[in-house]
């Protein structure tokens, strides 16, 4: 059978550890294709958060740094200062990026640090058992909202919208979904390219699925993803800023 895996994937790595049907695999596959097409696997340093994103530690034939929960942006900002010739990627979940790591993320955007942050939004703290996160939509049942999340606890944090308010006009900020893998790959490439060419900040939120904690089958998972796409619009935020100028 033809091997359709990205060549930047480690050929000798063990089978992946994600649950069956997890959205992380789709994100990482497209990221692998982006590495291949841009021929950058040797130039990338892949920073991963604590959370299910850490299960990507041996995916790529690329240098990888395992950081603490919520500290990936800060670690990769520091790393990039020390090694400006490297392409610094920070990979995390919505808990790591929008809760414990939010101040680091916002300040990296505010300072326009030349790193690329990829945040996989599955609307819960997946690795620790599906607790409610800043992006959990109203009504979603989680282990900390057994009767459904109440609106008084927030209607869902809109990260790219928040970040684009304080980011520099030349920062690249976008939201995509695993439901459109080609658009996902193109967006990841644009974000990485902005770091390499313009030496500025870039941020991509990827709407994803977590069948294990959502307790859903494939069809139900994608129904929830469609709802997420309505709550969190798929768009690029950079051009809008340029139009406003």
Ligand X SMILES: Cc1ncc(C[n+]2csc(CCOP(=O)(O)OP(=O)(O)O)c2C)c(N)n1
Which one of ligand SF4, ligand X, none is in contact with 133 (Cβ closer than 5 to 8 A by kind)?
A: ligand X
In whole angstroms, the minimum distance from the beta carbon of 71 to ligand X comes to 8
Distances (CA, A) of 82 to 21, 46, 86, 87, 93: 38, 15, 9, 12, 25
Tell me which residues in 103-132 interact with ligand SF4 (CB under 6 A). 122, 126-127
Closer residue to ligand SF4, CB minimum distance, 18 or 110: 18
**How far apart are alpha carbons 95 and 146 in whole angstroms?**
18
* Among 46, 79, 125, 201, interactor with ligand X by CB under 6 A: 125
Per CB under 6 A, does 53 bind ligand X? yes
Any idea which residue has 């900002």 for tokens? 77
* Among 9, 22, 72, 113, interactor with ligand SF4 by CB under 6 A: 22
In whole angstroms, the minimum distance from the beta carbon of 124 to ligand X comes to 6
Site string for ligand X, 130-159 (x = CB under 6 A): ---x--------------------------
Per CB under 6 A, does 51 bind ligand X? yes
Any idea which residue has 């139009």 for tokens? 243
- For every residue of 95-155, DSSP letters joined together read HIIIIITHHHHHHHHHHT-S-EEEEEE-SSBTTTT-B--TTPPTT--BTTBTT---GGG-S
Closer residue to ligand X, CB minimum distance, 40 or 157: 157
In sequence order, what are the residues at sequence separation of 6 or more whose Cβ sits closer than 8 angstroms to the Cβ of residue 239? none
* Among 95, 97, 156, 211, interactor with ligand SF4 by CB under 6 A: 211
- 121, β-bridge pairs: 207
Closer residue to ligand X, CB minimum distance, 96 or 156: 96
Any idea which residue has 């800043």 for tokens? 134
148: left (phi over 0), alpha (psi -120 to 50) or beta: left
Residue 241's CB is within 10 A of a number of other CB atoms, namely 17
Which one of ligand X, ligand SF4, none is in contact with 22 (Cβ closer than 5 to 8 A by kind)?
A: ligand SF4
Per CB under 6 A, does 94 bind ligand X? yes
Per CB under 6 A, does 228 bind ligand X? no
In whole angstroms, the minimum distance from the beta carbon of 200 to ligand SF4 comes to 30
């Amino acid at each position: 059978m033809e091997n359709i895996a990205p060549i930047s994937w480690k050929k000798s790595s063990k089978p992946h550890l994600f649950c069956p049907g997890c959205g992380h695999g789709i994100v990482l596959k497209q990221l692998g294709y982006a590495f291949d097409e841009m021929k950058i696997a040797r130039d990338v340093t892949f920073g991963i958060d604590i959370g299910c994103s850490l299960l990507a530690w041996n995916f790529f034939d690329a240098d990888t740094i395992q950081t603490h929960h919520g500290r990936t942006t800060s670690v990769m900002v520091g790393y990039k200062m020390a090694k400006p010739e490297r392409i610094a990627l920070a990979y995390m979940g919505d808990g790591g990026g929008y809760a414990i790591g939010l101040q680091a993320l916002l300040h990296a955007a505010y300072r326009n640090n030349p790193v690329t942050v990829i945040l996989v939004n599955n609307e819960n703290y997946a690795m620790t058992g599906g607790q409610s996160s800043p992006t959990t939509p109203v009504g979603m049942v989680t282990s900390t909202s057994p009767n459904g999340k109440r609106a008084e606890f927030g209607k869902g944090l809109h990260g790219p919208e928040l970040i684009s308010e304080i980011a520099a006009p030349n920062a690249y900020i976008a939201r995509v979904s695993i439901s459109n893998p080609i658009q996902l790959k193109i967006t990841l490439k644009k974000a990485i390219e902005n770091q390499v060419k313009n030496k500025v900040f870039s941020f991509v939120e990827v709407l994803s699925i977590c069948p294990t904690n959502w307790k859903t089958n494939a069809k139900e998972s994608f129904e929830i993803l469609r709802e997420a796409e309505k709550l969190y619009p798929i768009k690029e935020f950079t051009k809008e800023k340029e139009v406003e100028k």
